[in-house]
């Protein structure tokens, strides 16, 4: 019994360190992620509970890279209403994000004025898919097929929809889905 109690205690402690023990936290938000180019970690539930989230895998050398501009505009226009855009650089498609995190962060800020939260460089496909992306893929039953794939999470922490890379931030379909999410 003491061994079992110790094992339960250790599991709870490990979860607390990872920031993943909130029993009332929706599964898609129960992740602690590192900010881009930093050691600081953000627990999605603590930081973004009650917000609508647009999660995007990004790349700096892609035909869709100019979507950074539209994503930033969307973030600035709708942040007050509760939308947060979350960017995740990935080098999984065509080697289009080969740089290190500090270089990516500088590129995003200087080229597109990105202020929306950017997180650690991740894998969004293959054997090493980041656990957050694995959860998104399972919830949507759809995986990114290229850079700038978008997942929309509602205020309740549940996946609403996903959008292929060619769906621009200005798309009426995406805008309508975001507006519905914000009205929840």
Q: How far apart are CA 112 and CA 177, in angstroms?
A: 24
Nearest to 87 by CA among 43, 57, 60: 57
Catalytic residue flag (residue 25): no
Catalytic one of 25, 45, 62, 108: 62
Domains of the chain: 24-183 (3.40.30.10)
Q: How far apart are CA 156 and CA 75, in angstroms?
A: 19
Q: How far apart are CA 28 and CA 94, in angstroms?
A: 28
Pull the structure tokens for residue 85.
């855009």
- Burial level of 157, CB count in 10 A (0-12/13-18/19+)? buried
CA angle 51, 57, 63 (to 5 degrees): 130
> Among the residues of 22-171, which ranges form H helices?
44-48, 67-78, 101-112, 131-140
What pLDDT sits at residue 8?
Answer: 42
Note down pLDDT in tens along the chain; length 184 residues: 444 444 444 444 444 444 444 579 999 999 999 999 999 999 999 999 999 999 999 999 999 999 999 999 999 999 999 999 999 999 999 999 999 999 999 999 999 999 999 999 999 999 999 999 999 999 999 999 999 999 999 999 999 999 999 999 999 999 999 999 999 8
Q: Give all strands (DSSP E) within 59-172, no chain letters.
A: 83-89, 150-153, 159-163
């Amino acid at each position: 019994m003491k061994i079992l109690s110790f094992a339960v205690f250790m599991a709870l402690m490990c979860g607390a360190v990872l920031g993943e023990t909130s029993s009332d936290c929706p599964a898609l938000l129960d992740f602690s992620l590192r900010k881009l180019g930093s050691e600081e970690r953000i627990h999605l539930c603590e930081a973004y509970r009650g917000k609508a989230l647009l999660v995007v895998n990004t790349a700096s050398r892609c035909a869709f890279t100019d979507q950074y501009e539209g994503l930033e505009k969307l973030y600035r226009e709708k942040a007050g209403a509760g939308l947060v855009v979350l960017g995740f650089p990935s080098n999984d498609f065509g080697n289009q994000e080969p740089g290190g995190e500090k270089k990516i962060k500088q590129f995003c800020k200087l080229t597109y004025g990105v202020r929306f939260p950017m997180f650690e460089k991740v894998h969004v496909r293959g054997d090493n898919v980041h656990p957050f992306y694995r959860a998104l893929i399972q919830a949507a039953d759809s995986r990114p097929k290229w850079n700038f794939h978008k997942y929309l999470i509602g205020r309740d922490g549940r996946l609403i929809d996903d959008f292929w890379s060619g769906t621009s931030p200005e798309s009426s379909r995406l805008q309508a889905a975001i507006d519905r999410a914000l009205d929840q």
